[in-house]
Each structure stands twice: as C-alpha cells, then as structure tokens.
Amino acid sequence: MDFAFSEEQLAFREQVLRFAAREIAPRSAGHDLNSEFDHQAFRRLGEFGILGLHFPEEFGGSGADVVTTVLAGEALGEAGVDGGLLLSYGAHSFLCADTILVHGSDEQRRRYLPGLASGELIGCMGLTEPGAGSDVAALRTRAERRGDRYLLNGSKIFITNGPVADVAVVYATVDAAAKHAGISAFIVERGCKGFSAGPPLHKMGVRSSQTSELFFDDCEVPAENLLGGEGNGFLMALQTVEWDRSALIAPFVGSLSYALKKCARYARQRQQFGRAIAEFQAVRDKLATLKIFIEAARGLVYRVAWCKDQGRPLNHLEAAVAKLFVGDWSLEPANAAMTLLGGYGYCHEYELERIFRDGRLASIGGGTSEIQKLIISKLM
C-alpha cells in the first residue's frame, strides 16, 4: 500500500492552489451573493487546463489520470473557490464532457471536446425529470427516430448549467416499455429547434451555478448526435456517477480544508474571556471534528479515483460509500466550522455559511444518501 501522491501530482496541486487562490476564489463571494454564473472564471479554468485535465491531448486536454484530476478538484475547494463554480465545473467536465469522451464517436469527440476543454463551450447533463429523480429508469422524455433525426419530447429539471450550456448530454427513452434498456443519450446543442432552458432556480446553495429546467418540444436532434448507441444510456449514466462520487465531491472536501484553516486562524486571533478562543477545549474539539472528517473522506474519495485509474470496472460500492460518507457525515463538521466563528460564521463575508449551504447538496445531488444506502445494501 502506498497513499503518497507523486512529486508531479503534488507540484501540480500547488500550482492549482496558487492559481485558484489568486484568480478564482476572490471572485466567488460576489457571484454567490448575486447568484451569477462566473463566465470569466470558468474560462480561466479552461485556460489553466482544469476543464479538460483528463482528456487526451488531441482533444485539448492534458491526459491526466483520475487521481490527479480529483486532486486538482480538491485543491480548487481548498483554495476557497465557491461550491457553485465547482459544481458547474463538475457537471461540465465529468457529467457532460466525459460521457462524450468515453462513449462518443471520433467525430463527436473532435467536434465537442476541444471547446469543452477550453471553456469556449459550456456543457450540462440532463437526466433528472420532474417525475424521475432517484428512479432514473422512470424517465419519460421520449426520443423517436424520424429519418435522419430524432424528435425529443419531454422535460428535465435541476440541470446544472442548464441556462448557460452550449452542449447538453440528454437522456431519453426510445422505448418506454423496455425501461432501462430503452434509455439512450443524445447530444443536444443550444439553439437546436424545440430546445429551451427555463430560468435559473433559486437555491439554498451552490448559487453561482445556474440550475434550470430543460424543455424539449419536438426538438430535432440529428441522428449522428446519438451517443453510445440506442439503449445504452442507462449504463452510461451509471458510469458517470462514479465521477459524481469522486471528482464532484472532492472539491467539497477541499472546501472543508479551507474552512478548517480559516477556523484555526480565527481561533488563534479571536479573544474572549481574556484569551484566544483556541484555548477553549470546546473550540479545539470543533477543529478536530473537521480534521477527522477531512482525513476520513479523503481516503474514500481517492480510493474511487484510484480504482478508476486501475481500470476496475464500475466501482459502485466504493463510489456509493464515498458519496454517502461525504454527504451525511459532513453536516456536523460544516456546522462546527460555521459555529466556531460565532456571529461572523453566519455572515456571508466570512464564507463559512456559504460552505455550509453549498455542502448541503452533497447528500442530495448525484443520488441522495438514501439511494447510496440502497446501492450499498444491494452490493454488500
């Protein structure tokens, strides 16, 4: 066993930390407050090479392994980047772009990946529907083949990047009676006839990421935009959730490291009853709660990444364990961090209430904690 990162990985992590702390994180508070997507920061992530980090070079990426990719995501969180931008990056790079990378034809990859890697194109993934959340197989959006195109009808909800996306990977069924086996994925471009996005939803957290409904009203999608073949969508969606449960949660673990540092600094400086609050046992206890959670979570998140790097197929159990742990066991440390700063912790300026709000999504998005428990109890 060896839990060390390589020299190169650590050096890259440092670069990401510095870059993000200097250029991205200072923009987070304003965008979160105004619930605005930060186009400029997103493009900078692309220019820096984050968005397509794990894509092959020929598609505008760096060919990084999964562990490095997850490490970069964690570093973004640790630099203080808000959960909204991090979610937008995750939905873009993993839920949308990676699906094209893994299942797309050469033509599809050439057409979309370079733009997705640079940030010139923004991607989203539409799976959830008003009547099909946890029960993905119940999705109703239909895709009917009509000559050289498919006609899509239906709607999606809670779609990250929906209002700003140029490219959407959309799941629809070509045969509702076949349930899972009918589900297929399509690449739908912005401006495509019959395709529209609703206004951004007002959310508790991850506010700088725009979340909306997507509508398909006899939406015409060229047949060559079918992704991975008819009926393969369900398995493809399952594959993307591995990313959901490693690369998408790593930034939140990083955010808690950011919170821990902030709390520790505050505890040293803040004086009450004639001494630094760091001297009070109850305050130190909160720091320990954060530290223990972070270290426990890291072991799980990197296990999923490492398994993916080994090419071990569909690591559902490991992925579900990581997702469940981060989703459910992060509530106490996130709350502890906010409480440690007293009244300031409750104020936007000090960022901890944002981390708390953003992190609350971890047990809901990408499969709720209950669904993770279902998966674990089936596989164990």
Partner 1 sequence: MNYDLDASDKELLDRVTALLNDENLPDPAALQRVEASTVGSLLRAWLQRLGPAGYLAAPAGPGLTSARMLLAARSPWLALAVAIGPGLLADLLARHGSPEQQQRFLEPLRRGRLVAAVALSEPRAGSHPDHLATTARRDDGQLVLSGSKSTVSLAPLADVIAVVAESDGAQALFLIDGGQAGCVCGSPLDTLGYRQLCTCPLELRGVRVAPDRVMVPDGRPRGGLLQQVRAGWDAALADVACGTMRLCLEQAREAAAVERAGGKPPAGYQSVRFALAEMLTLSQTAELLALRAAWAGAAADRQAASLALCAKVFATENACRVADLALQIMAAAGYSRDNPVARAVRDSRLGLIAGHPGQVARQAIAGEVLQEVELS
State the residues that interact with ligand FAD by CB under 6 A. 91, 95, 124-128, 133-134, 158-160, 203, 206, 211, 361, 364-368, 370-371, 374
Phi, psi of 244 (to 5 degrees): -55, -35
Task: Note whether 13 binds partner 1 by CB under 8 A.
Answer: no
Least distance in angstroms from the C-beta of 360 to ligand FAD: 9
Task: Note whether 76 binds partner 1 by CB under 8 A.
Answer: no
Comparing CB distances to partner 1, the nearer of 130 and 299 is 299
Q: Which of ligand FAD, partner 1, none binds 21 (CB below 5-8 Å, type-dependent)?
A: none
Comparing CB distances to ligand FAD, the nearer of 237 and 340 is 237
Comparing CB distances to ligand FAD, the nearer of 90 and 298 is 90
Task: Note whether 7 binds partner 1 by CB under 8 A.
Answer: no
Query: Token pair for residue 364?
Result: 């809901």
Among 278, 314, 331, 364, indicate the residue that binds partner 1 (CB under 8 A).
278
What's the rounded Cα separation, in Å, for the pair 128 and 149? 23
Alpha-helical (H) ranges within 160-249 are 233-244
* Candidate segments 37-45, 113-121, 196-204, 299-307, binder of partner 1 by CB under 8 A: 299-307
CB atoms within 10 A of CB 345: 22
| DSSP notation for 222-265 | EGGGEES-TT-HHHHHHHHHHHHTTTTTHHHHHHHHHHHHHHHH
Q: Give pairs for 267-270: CB < 8 Å, separation 24+.
A: 267/340, 270/342
Q: Which of ligand FAD, partner 1, none binds 377 (CB below 5-8 Å, type-dependent)?
A: partner 1
Among 102, 178, 292, 347, indicate the residue that binds partner 1 (CB under 8 A).
292
Task: Note whether 204 binds partner 1 by CB under 8 A.
Answer: no
What's the rounded Cα separation, in Å, for the pair 74 and 117? 19
**Interface residues for partner 1 in 324-343 (CB under 8 A)?**
324-325
Instruction: Give the three-class secondary structure for 213.
Output: strand
Beta bridge partners of 271: 276
Phi, psi of 57 (to 5 degrees): -60, -35
Task: Note whether 300 binds partner 1 by CB under 8 A.
Answer: yes
Comparing CB distances to ligand FAD, the nearer of 133 and 222 is 133
Of all residues in this chain, which one has the CB nearest to ligand FAD in the complex?
Answer: 133
Comparing CB distances to ligand FAD, the nearer of 56 and 198 is 198
Comparing CB distances to partner 1, the nearer of 1 and 177 is 1
Cα–chain center distance at 53? 15
Q: Which of 329, 345, 325 is nearest to 337 (CA)?
A: 345
Comparing CB distances to ligand FAD, the nearer of 263 and 359 is 359
Cα–chain center distance at 127? 14
Give the DSSP H/E element, type plus range, for residue 297.
helix 281-309
Task: Scan for tokens 């009917």, then name that residue.
Answer: 144
Comparing CB distances to ligand FAD, the nearer of 68 and 212 is 212
Q: Which of 163, 119, 179 is nearest to 171 (CA)?
A: 179
Least distance in angstroms from the C-beta of 327 to partner 1: 10
Least distance in angstroms from the C-beta of 205 to ligand FAD: 8
Task: Scan for tokens 């493009």, then name that residue.
Answer: 43
Under a CB-based contact definition with an 8 Å cutoff, are residues 379 and 320 in contact? yes
Q: Which of partner 1, ligand FAD, none binds 296 (CB below 5-8 Å, type-dependent)?
A: partner 1
Instruction: Give the three-class secondary structure for 368.
Output: coil
Q: Which of ligand FAD, partner 1, none binds 160 (CB below 5-8 Å, type-dependent)?
A: ligand FAD
What's the rounded Cα separation, in Å, for the pair 205 and 261? 21
Q: Which residues bind to partner 1, rule: CB under 8 A?
A: 1-6, 67, 260-261, 264-265, 267-268, 278, 281, 283-285, 287-292, 295-297, 299-300, 302-303, 306-307, 321, 324-325, 370, 372-374, 376-377, 380
